Amino acid sequence: MFKGQERGDVLIRVAVDTMGGDFGPPETVKGALQGLDTHNIELLLVGDQDLLESELAHYDIKNKPVKVVASVGKIGDDEHPIEGLRRKPKSSILVATKLLKSGDADLLVSMGSTGASMASSVFILGLMDGLERPCIGGPFLGVAPRTVLVDMGSNIDCRPPLMLSFAALGSVFSQKFLGIDNPRVGLLSVGSEAAKGNRQVHESYQLLQESHLNFIGNVEGMDFFTGRVDVIVCDGFVGNILMKFTEGLGTALSHYVEQRLADHLPAAELAKVSSDLWETTNMPRTMGGPLFGVNGMVILGHGSCRASGIAGAINTGVRCVQIGMVDSMRQELAQLSSTEVLKN
């Protein structure tokens, strides 16, 4: 392991939960193998052994760094994550997470149940010191690819110290992954003045202002697009609604544009424009959503991802491993704790 340093082109071992996602192994295996073509990685494909072997038979993987790691069963979106983990100790997500924990893998990628993947990561890898819950962050809009939103992980009823942690983690991601120096952090609210917002915002505002982060105050819904902020912090209730809303709106607008331009463009070009528009509103499907705050690099993807989305998530994760994201985040949280802000 080369924890905490730039890993350059060192081989990175990627555990993929192939049983997750709406399309299962045919799509996850295809996507994972695409990842092989662009990175110096070894694939640890975790899933039902027979299924995986019959899937791999469609590809020429002789001499390629691909291993199958057997697991039994999967935890579905319809199951309670924690109960699922208890009842299915050999499920693909648990086996894959344990590879990361034991040091046999450097990265975990899963398109399975977000709840189960988060719970598995917390139980097996553990939370970073000073953190109450993990979160999901990153850019989520193709039209605002350098604006990080955190939390997209559906953490509800977040207390202000947790909001501060989200801000710190998002800030590290902005700095290390997007190369933004001293990222500007904003708190999502209903007006830019300090007095605007609900109780959670008022209290979080105080903590953010006392912290070492580059806090610029409250920002509003339009500020994803104004370029005045690099990291937008919100409760996972709002983050999840925004993300799903954008997905739906992107789909609706791509249909709208398709109809609107039907008489103006040739069919092939029309389809391309419509799909580009859709993609630009659905960034987590193309790059995955990094899980922040657990002791290991985990990338979660949208269940409906196709192979290219899985390859994109691997791509994101490989870069996170190369730049030592987990260690940087741990250091940032340690700095936050040392400033005592969290103990207020």
**Is residue 197 a contact residue for a copy of itself (CB under 8 A)?**
yes
H-type helices in 190-235, by residue range? 199-210
Nearest distance, CB of residue 213 and a copy of itself, angstroms: 21
Distance (Å, whole) CA 113 – CA 298: 13
Among 188, 305, 311, 333, binds a copy of itself (CB under 8 A): 188
- Does residue 260 belong to the site contacting a copy of itself (CB under 8 A)? yes
SS (H, E, C) 154-197: CCCCCCHHHHHHHHHHHHHHHHHHCCCCCCEEEEECCCCCCCCC
281 binds a copy of itself (CB under 8 A): yes
Q: Does 89 bind a copy of itself (CB under 8 A)?
A: no
User: Closer to a copy of itself at the Cβ: 20 or 236?
Assistant: 236
Nearer to a copy of itself, 262 or 334 (CB): 262
224 touches a copy of itself (CB under 8 A): yes
**Cβ distance to a copy of itself smaller for residue 282 or 316:** 282
Q: Which is nearer to a copy of itself, 224 or 292 (CB)?
A: 224
Sheet holding 107-110, edge to edge: 66-70, 41-47, 12-17, 107-110, 298-300, 289-292, 135-139, 148-150, 231-233, 184-188, 214-219
Size of the site for a copy of itself (CB under 8 A): 50
| Extended strands (E) in the chain | 12-17, 41-47, 66-70, 107-110, 135-139, 148-150, 184-188, 214-219, 231-233, 289-292, 298-300
Site for a copy of itself in 137-166 (CB under 8 A): 141, 143-144, 154, 156-157
Q: Is 291 in the site for a copy of itself (CB under 8 A)?
A: no
Q: Should residue 271 be labelled a site residue for a copy of itself when binding is judged by CB under 8 A?
A: no
Please name the amino acid found at residue 21: G
Residues 30 to 49 in contact with a copy of itself, rule: CB under 8 A = none
Q: What are phi and psi of 277, to 5 degrees?
A: -65, -40
- The smaller minimum CB distance to a copy of itself, of residues 173 and 224, is found at 224
* Nearest alpha-carbon partner for 334 in 126, 164, 130, 173: 130
CA distance 232 to 144: 12
Helical pair 267-280 and 236-260, crossing angle rounded to 10 deg: 170
Report the distance separating Cα 88 and Cα 8, nearest Å.
37
Q: Binding to a copy of itself by residue 237, rule CB under 8 A?
A: yes
In the bound state with a copy of itself, the residue whose beta carbon lies nearer, of 117 and 175, is 117
**Closest by CA position to 234, among listed 297, 334, 143, 157:** 157
Q: Is residue 248 a contact point for a copy of itself (CB under 8 A)? A: yes
Q: Is 273 in the site for a copy of itself (CB under 8 A)?
A: yes
Least separation, in Å, of the C-beta of 137 and a copy of itself?
A: 16
Residue (3 or 260) nearer to a copy of itself, CB: 260
Judged by the rule CB under 8 A, the positions of this chain that interact with a copy of itself are 141, 143-144, 154, 156-157, 188-191, 197-199, 220-226, 234-238, 240-249, 251-253, 256-257, 260-261, 264-265, 269, 273, 276-277, 280-281
